[in-house]
Amino acid sequence: MSTYVYGIIRAAHSPLREDLDGIGDPPRPVRVLRQGELAAIVSDAPDQLRPKRRDLLAHQRVLHEAGAGGVVLPMRFASASPDDDTVTQVLAERVEHFLERLQALDGTAEYNIKANHDEEAVLRLIMADHDDIRSLGEANREAGGGTQEQQIRLGEMIAAAVQAREATDAELLQQTLQPMAKAVSAGPQSTGWLANFSFLVDRGSAEQFLTAVDELRQEHPHLELRVNGPLPPYSFVDIPSSQQAEGGTAEAFGAAAQPNG
Element (H, E) at 41: strand 38-44
Share of the chain above pLDDT 90, in %: 57
At residue 148, φ and ψ (nearest 5 deg) are -60, -40
Classify each residue of 135-173 as buried b or exposed e, where b means 16 or more C-beta atoms within 10 Å of its C-beta.
Answer: ebbeebeeeeebeeeeeeebeebbeebbeebbeebbebb
More confident residue, 115 or 141: 115
More confident residue, 111 or 144: 111
Q: What is the mean pLDDT of residues 247-255?
A: 53
The CA distance from 207 to 109, in Å, is 12
Indicate yes or no: pTM above 0.85.
Answer: no
pLDDT at 251: 55
Q: What is the mean pLDDT of residues 136-150?
A: 80
Element (H, E) at 161: helix 148-177
Whole-Å CA distances, 208 to 15, 66, 178, 196: 32, 25, 12, 20
Share of the chain above pLDDT 70, in %: 90
The per-residue pLDDT for range 152-211, each reduced to its tens digit, is 888 888 899 998 999 999 999 999 999 999 999 988 776 678 999 999 999 999 999 999
Answer whether residue 240 shows pLDDT above 90: no
Cα-based angle 139, 143, 146 (whole degrees, multiple of 5) = 80
Cβ atoms of 33 and 84 within 8 Å: the answer is yes
pLDDT at 106: 93
The CA distance from 113 to 196, in Å, is 6
Q: Alpha carbon 62 to chain centroid distance?
A: 18
